[in-house]
């Protein structure tokens, strides 16, 4: 029988794989949602809210469960947890990651933004700068950085390239939520206006 530590280790590996995939698929949800807003189509969010939830939280289960079953059937004889430890973004994350779809949506959105900025060049003389700004702000939101190293697993990268991969992967994944919050929340004019009002009300009360 497996020890309690080995069972805990395997459960942690399964949970880690699920969380990584859920993170990737919520990138896809954000990309699809922004694309729908940008192209100006009229959608009822009540009809699509549940679909977004299924896509973000449910789709990873479709890939993690078969992977877990395969691990259990083929590597369950091992006493420890060595066979369940996943190094780098290997299956199921590599096979089922929607990063490539996000990249296509990302390029499509940039094309739409560029067309709109060019159509209003008189109003936006700095449209190239605006395009560059839009590109940089969309990268963390869509998880485009995942595409760069998604197929470069730890076994395939050596030397300096491996250190570069680990640094960017850990840095961007760790601070992605912070970057998105700053770019899309705290840097938003409406949010700053509301925060300013709250701050003024707080000062009046105190």
Note the pTM of the prediction, 2 decimals. Answer: 0.67
Q: Give pLDDT tens digits for 50-107.
A: 888 999 999 999 988 988 888 888 766 555 566 666 544 455 665 566 777 888 888 8
Q: Rounded CA gap, 12 and 113, in Å? A: 42
Peptide linkage before 22 cis (omega within 30 of 0): no
Question: What b-and-e string marks burial along 82-96, b requiring 16 or more CB atoms within 10 Å of the CB?
Answer: eebebebbeebbeeb
The pLDDT tens digits for 139-188 are 777 777 666 666 666 666 677 877 887 787 777 777 777 877 787 778 77
20-52 pLDDT, tens per residue? 888 888 888 888 888 887 775 545 555 688 888
Q: Residue 51: how many CB atoms within 10 A of its CB? A: 12
Measured distance CA(157)–CA(161) in Å, rounded: 6
Q: Closest by alpha carbon to 55, among 12, 14, 23, 79? A: 23
Residue 80 pLDDT: 58
The tens digit of pLDDT for each residue in 113-125 reads 778 777 776 655 5
Which DSSP symbol is given to 120? Answer: T
């Amino acid at each position: 029988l497996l020890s309690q530590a080995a069972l805990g280790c395997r459960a942690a590996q399964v949970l880690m794989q699920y969380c990584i995939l859920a993170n990737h698929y919520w990138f896809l949800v954000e990309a699809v949602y922004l694309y729908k807003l940008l192209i100006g189509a009229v959608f009822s969010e009540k009809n699509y809210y549940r679909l977004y939830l299924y896509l973000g939280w449910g789709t990873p289960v479709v890939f993690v469960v078969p992977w877990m079953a395969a691990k259990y059937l083929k590597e369950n004889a091992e006493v420890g947890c060595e066979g369940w430890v996943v190094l780098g973004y290997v299956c199921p994350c590599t096979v089922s990651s929607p990063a490539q779809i996000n990249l296509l949506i990302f390029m499509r959105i940039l094309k739409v933004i560029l067309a709109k900025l060019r159509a209003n060049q008189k109003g936006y003389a700095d449209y190239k700068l605006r395009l560059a700004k839009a590109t940089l702000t969309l990268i963390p939101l869509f998880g485009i950085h995942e595409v760069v190293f998604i197929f470069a697993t730890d076994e395939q990268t050596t030397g300096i390239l491996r250190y570069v991969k680990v640094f960017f992967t850990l840095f961007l994944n760790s601070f992605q939520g912070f970057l998105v919050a700053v770019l899309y929340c705290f840097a938003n004019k409406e949010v700053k206006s509301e925060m300013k009002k709250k701050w003024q009300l707080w000062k009046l009360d105190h």
